Structure 1
Amino acid sequence: MNQELQALEKNDTWELCELLKGKKARVHDHYLFTRTDSDDFLALLIYVDEVIITGNNSQAADKVKCALHDKFSIKDLGFMKYFLGLDVALSETSTLISQRKFILDVLKDTSTIAAKAVSMPLPKGLQLALDDGKLLTDPDKFGRFTGRLLYVNITRPDINYSVQHLSQFMAAPMNPHWDAALHLLRYLKSCPPKGLYFPVHSDLKLRAFCDAGWGSCVFSCKSLTGFCMFLGDALISWKTKKQNIVSKSSAEAEYRSMTATVIVQFPISLKCDNQAAIHIANDPVFHERTKNLDIDCHLVREQLQRGFILPSNVSSVQQLADVFTKPLLTASHHSLVSKLGLVDLPRDPT
């Protein structure tokens, strides 16, 4: 299929019957093709021999399917219910995406389908170390398992911190690391249908939350950046990442997390739970006290001056990005996860 697509592009036959004229591949995803014509929008996402067609004009989508069928003899499977491990539930008001089947398959493959479920991804306060315990006899097993967890992470932001923490030990995994991974699986067993909620109607305003775990890496003393971004009520982006250098204060760590969050040129509401970091962004007087910060960190202040972000303080209790930087108490974890918009995918009645 990939060779055929390349041939199509080479022969410019994407302009079949003028139906796909103007369609172009996205810069960051060469297998995503889009077309905008007045108020009509059409998108094709291609993976090997599977294609998703979506847009706001069903007649245009039908014409594209007919054109593709003439060229490839395709089979129309109707509305999407399952694609590459993703379970999809469509309604008139929303789209729900989870990985229930994929998670259950992982549980079966690791013989944990009958294990006792737990309420948290990792135990509160758990800090794994590089030299903690005995090396696994089959380290590749840990790598394969972590890779599958990374895939689950695309619809489960509630395990983002845990997966990031486990991924640091893939080179030389030890027994405590494997035990922590199994603990995470037992958490997924407690809520396999949970997934992302995308409402049909939204105000399309961007909101962002950022947080930092100052010096939370026990073997490097580096801080963790965590952020999440909403488009209206829909969670569209989240990340947990270890900062590149050691921050000398919590304000510096929080300011670096703000920098990592400023990734789009729109006026977004940026919620941070550290007043000092916000003052650094707002008040140039504070820069005299923060000369140790890299110049690129002041991207935050530049974006503030240009009117693309509006930093404001939020209490730690309401800081949604907190779930991306550390293990929390059970009540706090579930409260924040519910505010991220994760919901349970309904069972298919068929």
Structure 2
Amino acid sequence: MEAIRLLLAFATYMRMTLYQMDVKSAFLNGIINEEVYVEQPPGFENEKAATHVFKLNKVLYGLKQAPRAWYDKLSSFLIENDFVRGKVDSTLFRKEFKSDYIIVQIYVDDIIFGATNEQLCKEFSSMMQEEFEMSMMGELKFFLSLQILQTDNGIKIHQTKYTKELLKRFKMDDAKEMKTPMHPSSALTLDEDSPSIDQTQYRGIIGSLLYLTVSRPNIMFSVCVCARYQAAPKQSHMNAVKKILKYLKGTMNCGLWYPKDTSPTLVGFSDSDFAGCKMDRKSTSGSCHIFGECLVTWHSKKQACVALSTAEVEYVAAGSYCAQTIWLKQQLQDFGLKLDHIPLRCDNTSAINITKNPIMHSRTKHIEVRHHFIRDHVEKGDCDIEFIETENQLADIFTKPLPKERFYKLRTNLGILCEDNLS
């Protein structure tokens, strides 16, 4: 999903229109390179050789080799036609033609593509339909439950239909609306005195909400907090989950807005609370990346160890951000865009100084080696650590429950619109 969002953001920057094609019986196109035998299927039995089995020449649906065989067939065909495969994302292909180029993103049997010249899209569509049995679905509008609306001003990404189905499935479509997904004073614990509830239903709601975070980063923190109690959920945990559903009821049309005519820049925000978990006193890290004005990646995760200071938790959070930055940088190189000195904005000056100081001293000697990954890339110039005031820290929404005014402000600044015209 991160690769798809990055492609959509890049398309807005290049003012490209994205199209979609669907492969009919995709797996039946693959040629199998291994010896695989199957029992005689019903209706194809040979009475003279009832104990024999069939040897497959091509793949069938249900074989674990089927996806790999189909990908090998498709990628070989594209490479033969002068497409270049991405070095990071092997499902991304790019072909240049004089000053124009076309980008192709593959997801199993769905193909998304766009070009700086519409003629290249027409030629690609004709080429694929001649080789495979495919259907042209026109402009990209619906992909993996994502509703995508391409306009002259930008791209809107939302999951309104999925949200309505989710609320109806869990009988919350008539619930009272909430202004925020979690109250600022909320603090979930194991709550062993609270009555137990149906684990299957609780896990089903959590799984559905986690998929909704693909286009709704504003519920990311609250969903991740509730997901920590799936092993033994209690009534208090279910009440917290229902508050999220009530918030969704009032913001059903909420989604991401990717405006056009943005600059080809990548900016990251990294933040962390301190000992936010009331049980084990571990902190929660949050980060996000914005390409131009398009929010493309985000995450909220509880740290693995207890930290001794706010500087340490911010430093660990920045290290996690750096790994994601390197991936985004390499992914953009496959698009033909080279970026260096990508800024990371952090609101803790001590953490910033640790990233720039290669000396191991008493305050940092206990920090695990893997968290010092960021130092190396700061020295190489891959990213730069910058200071930002806490009130302008956009990643704050991924680390703690916020008051309504602060929550609305960050939601708007991240490009998350909750308006009726987003339908």
Task: Give the alignment's TM-score, normalised by structure 1.
Answer: 0.89
2:212 is matched with: 152
What CA deviation, in whole Å up to 9, does each residue of 1:18-68 have, x standing for no partner?
6x443547755x6x34122243022133344x4333333322222232233
- Distance in 1, Cα, partners of 2:381 & 2:86: 31
Shift of the alpha carbon at 1:345?
6.5
1:95 touches 1:199 (CA, 8 Å); kept in 2? yes
Q: What stretches of structure 1 of length at least 5 have no aligned partner?
A: none
1:297 is matched with: 371
1:96 touches 1:197 (CA, 8 Å); kept in 2? yes
Aligned residues: 344
- Distance in 1, Cα, partners of 2:143 & 2:201: 25
Q: What stretches of structure 2 of length at least 5 have no aligned partner?
A: 1-24, 32-69, 327-339
2:414 is matched with: 340
Shift of the alpha carbon at 1:215?
1.1
Which protein shows a greater Rg?
2
Q: 2:354 aligns with which of 274, 280, 283?
A: 280
Q: 2:292 aligns with which of 218, 222, 232?
A: 232
1:33/1:210 Cα in 2 relative to 1: closer, same or farther (>3 Å)?
Answer: closer
1:5/1:34 Cα in 2 relative to 1: closer, same or farther (>3 Å)?
Answer: farther
- 1:121 counterpart letter in structure 2: P
1:224/1:15 Cα in 2 relative to 1: closer, same or farther (>3 Å)?
Answer: same
Q: Aligned pair 1:4/2:28, yes or no? A: yes
- Secondary structure of the residue aligned to 2:242 is helix
Q: 2:96 aligns with which of 37, 40, 44?
A: 37
Q: Aligned pair 1:81/2:141, yes or no? A: yes
- 1:256 counterpart letter in structure 2: V
Q: 1:330 aligns with which of 404, 413, 418?
A: 404
1:260 is matched with: 320
What CA deviation, in whole Å up to 9, does each residue of 1:266-292 have, x standing for no partner?
411111111221122234568442222
2:311 touches 2:350 (CA, 8 Å); kept in 1? yes
Moved more, 290-299 or 231-240: 290-299
- Distance in 1, Cα, partners of 2:398 & 2:79: 48
1:209 is matched with: 269
Shift of the alpha carbon at 1:319?
0.9
Task: Give the alignment's TM-score, normalised by structure 2.
Answer: 0.75
- Distance in 1, Cα, partners of 2:420 & 2:147: 10
- Distance in 1, Cα, partners of 2:379 & 2:165: 49
- 2:402 counterpart letter in structure 1: L
What CA deviation, in whole Å up to 9, does each residue of 1:201-255 have, x standing for no partner?
2211111111111111222211111011111111111110111111111111111
- Distance in 2, Cα, partners of 1:192 & 1:69: 38
1:163 is matched with: 223
- RMSD of aligned residue pairs (Cα, Å): 2.5
1:107 is matched with: 167
Identity among equivalent pairs (%): 28
1:90 touches 1:96 (CA, 8 Å); kept in 2? yes
1:259 touches 1:299 (CA, 8 Å); kept in 2? yes
1:14 touches 1:21 (CA, 8 Å); kept in 2? no
- Secondary structure of the residue aligned to 1:256 is helix
- Distance in 1, Cα, partners of 2:218 & 2:29: 37
1:11/1:236 Cα in 2 relative to 1: closer, same or farther (>3 Å)?
Answer: closer
